Structure 1
Amino acid sequence: MNVLNKVRRLVIPILMLVVVLMIGVAITLTKYVTDASKLDLSKLEEPLPKPTVIIDKNSEVVSELSSARFTYVQLSDIPEEVIHAIVAVEDQRFFDHSGVDVRGIARSAWRNYRAGSVVQGGSTITQQLAKNLFLTSDRTYSRKFQEVVTAYRIEREYSKETILELYLNQIYFGEGTWGIQDAANIYFGKDVQDITLTEAALLAALPKAPTHYSPFQNEEKAKQRRDLVLNLLYNQDYLSKSEYEQAINEKVHLRDWELEGLRGKYPSYVDYVIEEAISYGFSEEEILTGGLNIFTHLDPAVQEAIETAYTTDELFPVNSGDELVQSASVVVDPYSGGVRGLVGYRGNHVYRGFNRATQLERQPGSAIKPLAAFAPALESGISANVQIVDRRLDFNGYSPKNFNDRYQGRVSFYDALVHSINVPAVVLLNEIGISAGFEFLQKSGIPLHQEDRNLSLALGGLTNGVSPLQMAQAFSMFPNLGTVNEAHAIKRVTSSSGEILFEAKREKVQVMKPENAYTMTQIMMGVVEEGTGRNAALNRPTAGKTGTTQLPSTSAFQGVSGARDAWFVGYTPELVTAVWVGYDKLDPNHVMSSTGGNHPAKIFQAIMSEALQNTEVRPFQKPVNYQDDFKNNQSKEKEQKEKEKEKNEKELKEKAKDDRPGKGKGRNQNRGRGNSRN
């Protein structure tokens, strides 16, 4: 009896708990069903994504991300190849299930297991239509349940043909494009009625991950995904073996001309905003259709100054072949890290194409010297008034050369940087230790590889390279007295109703002492005033550094003169600007005749003159109690050099007088003969 009582005391609470849980589940499911049942299915026929707007630093709307332009096509006008391809890859049993395909989910799981990756999803076309139109992208059980309920409702109210037509006209295909007609146009420059089998397979390959598989972004990945779709068509008996083999051997052919149509203002900046927003967790689809308000650091005056410069061909090197000399520029506010403007290409814009302003990786050449050698040398305690060795040296097999192969024995810290002399930069890095320069660069935000721990670091010999954005960010420490603010475009993102979805909280790093940062600015003002960057001079305080990388020393470039990359990174008290110029591909037929002090410095000058034309001239910020010893020493040194120069010129003139014909007879003639013998 006691045993039965104990059992009852244990079982009854468990049964009560189960009943409570079942009631809770029932109530929850009832709520989900009720909520899903309230959805207005008539909106299926009016799919208009809300445009996202870009807001500048002045809180003004300056650009719109809208792809709400749908070109609707009837199902009867869509080729069978497209329909077959979409059904084969997205929902093989579309015409057999009632909105949710349990068998399809199991089959997809098995095929994904065999393939070693996700090649098919479990959601049906009807479920995707429900998700895309009504529900959030949250991966929760409640959202999935609502999707299932809505899919069943859609199947009851619409025919299979209508569902497929709605889906094909509304699904996102990447490159800011919705609908099969606009996708055919954006990728192939064709109407959907005119596309081929392989083009149909490529379009069907995109909805799974439009950005990842976009052929404009990565043609090889797009082709692999396309061939997988063709294989599914073959396995599902839509293609014969010969048709399949012929199709997979076809190359990807994309349109190679610019389409007419509005992409919005400031395309390079907008591309970077999208790139940055995606890094914060937003999907491209959310960004383009979510009706978001994206608040940015964009300054229209700066952006338009850059875009004006990039339409002025005279500022750029003449093409040495059939390819356009490319370029990219970034302007950053050193006190906030805000990207005020950027352009990442010359020529035609491709939506979310390769953005050289932010994605480029090129060696910076001598533009790295302030960051890799001179600034860390000051931080290590070396005086800016020191004289540095300048002669041919060998550092355990590494023998740096000056550009003109001329050496002065010793040069001042100032002259070594102002005139961009190579050997002194390497000497400095060797003296302070490679680790000191390496760590200084890392703190500045310059990405490095472990193999970069060598003395060529002082001259920009990096394994991977840098982007203009990274260089602008790193140089921002100098006008900001040693502090680097992480460069970024977006301040915050809100919903259409004003709810804050994201707010930037960027790091700032004190890289060097304010006094040393100001000293570096004084030296780099000399680069613009009397050194390699004179073409960058403005009618206001300006500092900066040039950089040029040489052609490879391979047999292919023997006898070929020119440069691979040319840089100018400069700044005023208000803004920092990095400019890169070069070819995308390097071969003997595409060689640039320029240096960092030539075209990049001129581009900098054009951008900054326009951007700052209505800005009051002011000096660089000076640290409290800063001692002008360096400046005074430089002034004295210059005065001494001028005096020596005048003295030498006077002696040369006197000598020239003595050497004139008819001079030197009598005693003078005899004295001259005696000296010549000595």
Structure 2
Amino acid sequence: MNNSPDPQGKWQAYLSKALAKCRTFKFPAFYKKPKFWRNLAILFLFVLLSGLGAGYYWISTLDVSKLESPLAKPTYIYDQAGNKISQLSSSRIEPVTLEQVPQLTQQAIIATEDKRFYEHQGVDFRSILRALIQDLKTRNFSEGGSTISQQLAKNLFLTSDKTLSRKLKEAGYAIKIEATLSKEEILEAYLNHIYFGEGRWGLQEAARYYFGKNAEELNLEESALLAGILKGPTIYSPLQDKELALQRRNIVLAMMADQGYITAKEAAQATAAPIALRTKPLDNLSGKYAPYVDYVIEEAINRYGFTEDQILTLGLQIHTQMDAKIQQAAETVYKDDQFFPQGQSDQKVQSGIAILDQHTGAIRGLVGYRGESAFRQFNHASQLKRQPGSIIKPLMVYGPALEKGYRPDALLYDGPLDLDGYAPKDWDGQTRGWVTMEEAIQQSWNIPAVWLFEQIGIDTGKAFVQKAGIPLTEKDAHLSLALGGFAEGVSPLEIAQAYTAFANQGLMHTAHAITKITTADGHILAQMQPESVQVTEPAHAYTMTLLLQNVVQQGTAPKAALGSRPVAGKTGSVELPPTQEFAGISKGQKDVWFVGYTPELTAAIWMGYDQTDRDHYLTTSGGSGPAVVFHEVLSSALKDTPIKPFEVPAGYVKDWNIWPEGWDDQDEYDQSKDDDKDKKDKKGKKNKKDPKDKNEFWDLFQDLWS
């Protein structure tokens, strides 16, 4: 027999005694006193008011000013025909006003996302309570219940984490939004900021992406489909699962009918309709014609005073002179490496082309770089500053010489020359004694150009060039200007503009891309004011055209020829500087150029490296690379354009021959370059025949020859 005590029984005895004492204990009856309940009520009210005050203060500190700032509106660029060619924006959203959104679209969104939208003040406590209970049960706080205002707050001000604290913040922001904006403003902001899947933010982007139309054109079925996507953009996108998207769309239609937005008949008809998505390729204007658009931005900033931010956010309408056919021709050639010298692995041979209509100054096409496009990258067509080489000769030397009375058949010195230490050489290292101006231009001889430049005077040449819009500096006051030895240099756009004077009978119009800039509703903010200058007389301009045609037909630029279409042009090359870095390199170029024109268009092309050094230089010439690009671009740009000759000025008389009188043909002229006395006598026949034909050069020539 076990006589040990029972522990369990012992504790039960103790518990029984304790309960018995509690039954007999008399608690104070303070809770029965009115004072207790009054104090408790005051405490509760104090805590409640303190909580409300703290909540009110916290909500008041929340910043929702972002909603009151206008959304960035895209700027559109138009070509010369008024076609929309490009879109610029700093935002992924293209905003619409609530007035642009169909009523059925608004109702589909409200029926699906927040049916009590017009009744609550930012937080629907019934929905929140339901969602909170479910969250507590699952412990993952993933249940919905957010109002439109809360969703807007989450998209703009909060992270996407699913926590209780984030939901409390969301509610606070929603209340602040409701206190700040009207219901209409909230709904408009929501429609512009909500995500519709497939990378599309905002109703306008979604309407265009899925249906190829603007938001204001949406019908009932389309509105219901977009509203259905919002519950799960990656799940209900019709591009991911069309059948699931259809089911979701029909649920939305049923909800709209239940809430009285549409009739049962309308819901049935819409439910029976299949999903009809966009069938045509999306016309994405962003990034289109980027080289030209980059220059348009540059011109809007530099000429009209706009800022980049204004261009990207104000919804401007910028009308330009771009010809889509010409621009496309240039971009196509610039994407084809076969037309450019092969570069190095670390550097591509760069290039820029500017194409103008010489009759108006309109920039019809422009490409400022090769390779991948980046927003507002360096533009080699407009921002480049490089020495122009021999393409400057017609502007700096021969154009002014024609004005001084020199004629294409005038003889120019081409022998050893040293002018105060400046001793130019011809590119072939040879001299010919005397050549005509026509031959000097045709073969791009250097010595005759410098010799003639010295004869007409440096200031005369500079004045002509500056009149043609070429900028010079105080340092540009030397004879090497005749060969393009500028302190700073020029751009293809500046050279193309200057040559339009020759192409347009001496009249140069200011090059421009923009015709006008307006607001979205058509109010004109800026407009191009036509500017022009008569650089030279029509007769001199046409004479230069004939001389430059000969460069293409028989001189240094045969690769620029366009078949039977007349072309005038000039090549240019800039040799490597005579520094130690390039010692031992016998033939190399830093820059190569070609500028040419037809009766319709003028174009200038530059090629070179961004950084020229011993491992990065050109071995081509202006008559090969740039001339070939000219040929390819203009051939395509002018395809189907009727061929016509250059316009001859009224009353123009060609009173000169390519070869001076007294020679039967070029061969006899070439033989005359020795010091044979008989040939010297023949060279004097022209002067003796008609004294009235003399120009300033002939007097000097007779003295020199004697």
Which TM-score tier does this pair reach, normalised by the shorter chain? 0.5 to 0.7
Distance 1:647 1:282 in 2: 62
Q: 1:63 to 1:635 in 2, by over 3 A?
A: farther
SS at match of 2:423: coil
Deviations 1:493-533 (A, max 9, x none): 11111111111013211111110000000000011001011
Q: SS of the counterpart of 1:466?
A: coil
Helix, strand or coil for the counterpart of 1:356?
A: coil
Q: Distance in 2 between matches of 1:388 and 1:287?
A: 53
- TM-aligned CA distance change 1:317 to 1:637, over 3 Å: farther
Runs of 4+ in 1 over 3 A off after TM superposition: 45-48, 70-78, 153-158, 632-639, 642-648
- Give the Å deviation of 1:312: 1.3
Q: Root-mean-square deviation (CA), in Å?
A: 3.0
CA distance in 1 between counterparts of 2:614 and 2:395 reads 31
Q: Secondary structure of the residue that 2:592 maps to in structure 1?
A: strand
Q: 1:633 to 1:601 in 2, by over 3 A?
A: closer
Aligned to 1:588: 614
Distance, in Å, in 2 between the alignment partners of 1:386 and 1:612 is 36
2:473 aligns with 449
Is residue 624 of structure 2 the alignment partner of residue 598 of structure 1? yes
Amino acid corresponding to residue 433 of structure 1 in structure 2: G
Shift of 1:353: 1.1
Alignment of 1:13-162 (within 5 A): 44=67, 48-69=71-92, 77=159, 157=180
Q: Which runs of 5+ in 2 are unaligned?
A: 1-63, 95-153, 161-175, 182-188, 194-200, 202-283, 674-706
Tell me if the contact between 1:321 and 1:589 (Cα under 8 Å) persists in the aligned partners: no
What is the letter of the counterpart of residue 608 of structure 1?
L
Letter in 2 for 1:551: L
Identity of aligned residues (%): 47
Alignment of 1:291-310 (within 5 A): 291-310=315-334
Is 1:545 matched with 2:575? no
Deviations 1:315-365 (A, max 9, x none): 100114521010010101111111001000011111011111100000010
Q: Is the 8 A contact 1:321 1:590 kept in 2?
A: no
Matched, 1:420 2:454: no
Choose the corresponding residue for 1:265, options 285, 288, 295.
288
3-state secondary structure, aligned to 2:482: helix
Distance 1:452 1:498, change over 3 A: same
Q: Is the 8 A contact 2:85 2:285 kept in 1?
A: no
Select the residue among 347, 356, 372 that pairs with 1:348: 372
Query: For the residues of structure 2 that align with 1:547 and 1:472, how far apart are their CA atoms?
Result: 13
Structure 1 residues 476 and 348 mapped into 2: Cα distance closer, same or farther (>3 Å)? same
Structure 1 residues 261-270 or 495-504, which shifts more?
261-270
> Structure 1 residues 65, 377: closer, same or farther in 2, change over 3 A?
same
SS at match of 2:480: helix
> Alpha-carbon deviation of 1:154?
8.7
Shift of 1:50: 2.2
Structure 1 residues 634, 490: closer, same or farther in 2, change over 3 A? farther
Partner of 1:573: 599
Partner in structure 2 of residue 331 of structure 1: 355
Instruction: Render the CA deviation track for 1:426-482: whole Å, top value 9, x for unaligned.
Output: 111101100000111111010101111110000000000000000000000011111
Distance 1:543 1:375 in 2: 14
Return the letter of the residue paired with 1:67: S
Structure 1: distance between partners of 2:671 and 2:369: 49
Partner residue in 2 for 1:203: none
Per-residue CA deviation, residues 39-94 of structure 1 (Å, 9 max, x unaligned), is xx99917954222111111121112223330599665559xxxxxxxxxxxxxxxx
Q: Which residue of 2 aligns with 1:284?
A: 308
Aligned to 1:628: 654
Cα separation, 1, equivalents of 2:431 and 2:602:
32
Change over 3 Å in CA distance of 1:592–1:320 after alignment to 2? farther
Counterpart in the other structure of 1:9 = none
The correspondence for 2:340, drawn from 302, 316, 319, is: 316
Whether contact under 8 Å (2:469, 2:497) holds in the other structure is yes
SS in 2 for 1:358: coil
What is the CA–CA distance in structure 1 between the aligned matches of 2:159 and 2:369, rounded to whole Å?
38
Identify which of 496, 511, 523 aligns with 1:499.
523
The one-letter amino acid of 1:536's match is A
Matched AA of 2:339: L
For residues 456 and 660 of structure 2, the distance between their equivalents in structure 1, rounded to whole angstroms, comes to 27
Contact 1:53–1:293 (CA under 8 A) maintained in structure 2: yes
Specify the code of the residue in structure 1 equivalent to 2:582. F
Partner of 1:676: none
- In structure 2, the residue matched to 1:107 is none
CA distance in 1, matches of 2:429, 2:547: 23
1:224 aligns with: none
Equivalent position to 1:607, from 594, 616, 633: 633
Aligned residue in 1 for 2:430? 406
Decide whether aligned partners of structure 1 residues 644 and 330 sit closer, same or farther in structure 2, where only a CA change above 3 A counts. closer
CA deviation after TM superposition for structure 1 residue 616, in Å: 0.6
Paired with 1:282 and 1:413, the residues of 2 have a C-alpha distance of 47
1:641 and 2:693 equivalent?
A: no
Which of these residues, 518, 532, 553, is aligned with residue 556 of structure 2? 532
Query: What's the TM-score once normalised by structure 2's chain length?
Result: 0.59
Q: Which residue of 1 aligns with 2:397?
A: 373
Do the aligned partners of 1:479 and 1:621 also contact (CA within 8 Å) in 2?
A: no
Bigger CA drift: 373-382 or 261-270?
A: 261-270
Post-superposition Cα deviations, 1:159-195, rounded to whole Å, max 9, x if no partner, equal xxxxxxx9xx99xxxxxxx9xxxxxxxxxxxxxxxxx
SS in 1 for 2:520: coil
